[in-house]
Amino acid sequence: MLEQSVVYLFVALVLIGGCMAAFSRQVLYAIIGLGISLLGLAGLFLSLGSPFVAAMQVLIYIGGITVAIVFAMMLSIAMSVRPPDPDVRKSMFAIGCAVVFFFAVAYLIRDTSFPQVASPASEKAWSVGALGHALLTHYNLVFETLSLVLLLAIIGAILIARKEKT
């Protein structure tokens, strides 16, 4: 019962942080919402029995990317610019797209058969050595793609933070 309550708490953190990031009018508050959402996601990884992935989530995404974006925003002019007024047409279009996406994903999940796992994985399967071996052999393409995403996030933070030459 307590474990289920903790999982619901982490899900609430993800949802609240996501809503804060999506609906905030100030950029800094949106970044803080992103950090809250990523922290909840790290908690979900921890509750799923993967402490290594949870620690990497906290170190890389919260400690690295989110902080880099905060520094980039503080160094740029975006902190002093007044946010634009909301456009009702754009908001309705975004809500419509979100509803269509939600129902498409729900339809795909409903019509997919998920195989049942015969037995849970052993503790040895979740060791750091086993995870590193799997990342660099079987999941090499995914690992390299994630490293490119991190590189693009860092380059984007640098581009946002640099001053325009006049």
pLDDT digits (tens, 9 = 90+) for 74-84: 777 666 777 77
Of 50, 51, 58, the closest CA to residue 13 belongs to: 58
Residue 104 has pLDDT above 70, yes or no: yes
SS3 86: coil
Instruction: Compute CA distances 135 → 58, 65, 75, 139, whole Å.
Output: 18, 21, 35, 5
| Side-chain half-sphere CA neighbours of 35 within 13 A | 16
Structurally, the chain folds into a number of domains equal to: 1
Q: Indicate which CATH number applies to the domain containing 81.
A: 1.20.120.1200
- pLDDT the model gives residue 32: 92
- pLDDT the model gives residue 35: 93
The DSSP secondary structure of 123-151, one letter per residue, reads GGGGSHHHHHHHHHTTTHHHHHHHHHHHH
- What residue numbers bound the domain in which 16 lies? 2-85+126-161
Of 15, 75, 70, 72, the closest CA to residue 39 belongs to: 15
Is 110 a member of any domain?
Answer: no
The count of residues in the chain is 166
- What is the Cα–Cα distance from 147 to 140, expressed in whole angstroms? 11
Is 121 a member of any domain?
Answer: no
Is 100 a member of any domain?
Answer: no
Is 33 a member of any domain?
Answer: yes
Instruction: Write the single-letter amino acid at 73.
Output: M
Mean pLDDT on 108-125: 78
pLDDT band at 163 (very low <50, low <70, confident <90, very high): low
Residue 166 has pLDDT above 60, yes or no: no
Asked whether 31 and 54 are in contact (CB, 8 A), the reply is: no
Instruction: Compute CA distances 90 → 30, 63, 84, 86, 95, whole Å.
Output: 19, 33, 12, 8, 9
Structure token pair of residue 130: 């086993």
Residue 111 has pLDDT above 90, yes or no: no
Q: Mean pLDDT in the chain?
A: 85
pLDDT digits (tens, 9 = 90+) for 20-66: 998 888 888 899 999 999 999 999 999 988 888 888 889 888 888 88
- pLDDT the model gives residue 34: 93
